[in-house]
């Protein structure tokens, strides 16, 4: 079978998506996880602050 440009594009997209998935799992997902943890921390801190202020009042 002679390869057309579309075949090549398909091959490249498949390669690219594979690499993208790998990168996503290795780099982006941990970042999202970290951000999630940070947000939780901030939220907890805000809640505890509010709770302290309520107590003071």
Partner 1 sequence: MAKPTWEEILEIYDKSKDKLVKSGLQQAFAEDNRFYELDFKKDLNIPAEFSKDATVLPTARDRLDSLVDHTDISNARITVNKRKETGAELARLEMLEKFGLGLIHRVNVESDISPLRVSAKHYWLHGITWIKTVFDRDIWDKDKGLTLPIVVVAVNPINIVPDPYHNGRDYIFEVRKKLVYDAKRLPFKWKNPHELADDIEVEQIEYFDKDYRCILINREPVWDVDNGVVEHNYGFLPYTAIESGLGNVDVDNNPVKRYVGILRHMKGLLISQSSIYSMCDILTKLETMIGGYITGADASNIPKITQAYGKWWPMGEKDVKFNRWERNLAPREAYAHLAYITDLIDIHSAPKSMFGLGEEGVRSGADRRLVLAEAQSKLNYSKDSFANGWAQVLSKCAKLVKDVVPDNFTIWAKNSSNDFDVSINKEDFREPFNFYVEFSPISEEDEYRRHEDLLRMFNGGLYTKEHARGKLSDVDTKALEKQELKEMIKMSPAYIELLLQYFMPMLQQALMEAGLPPPMPIGMPGQQPQGGGTTGRPLTTNVPNRAQPGSMQEMLNQRQNTMGTNPRGQQGQGGGGNRSFGV
Interface residues toward partner 1, by CB under 8 A: 1-3, 5, 8-9, 11-13, 16-17, 20-21, 24, 28-29, 32-33, 35-36, 39
Helices (H), 1-57: 5-23, 29-56
In whole angstroms, what is the distance from residue 43 CA to residue 2 CA?
59
Tokens of 25: 């799992």
Q: Which is nearer to partner 1, 13 or 50 (CB)?
A: 13
Count of residues making up the chain:
57
Q: Which is nearer to partner 1, 11 or 52 (CB)?
A: 11
Q: Which is nearer to partner 1, 29 or 52 (CB)?
A: 29
């Amino acid at each position: 079978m002679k390869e057309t440009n579309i075949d090549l594009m398909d091959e490249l997209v498949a390669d690219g998506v594979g690499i993208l998935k790998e990168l996503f799992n290795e780099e982006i997902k941990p970042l999202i996880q970290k951000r999630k943890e940070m947000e939780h921390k901030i939220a907890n801190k805000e809640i505890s602050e509010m709770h302290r202020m309520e107590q003071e009042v």
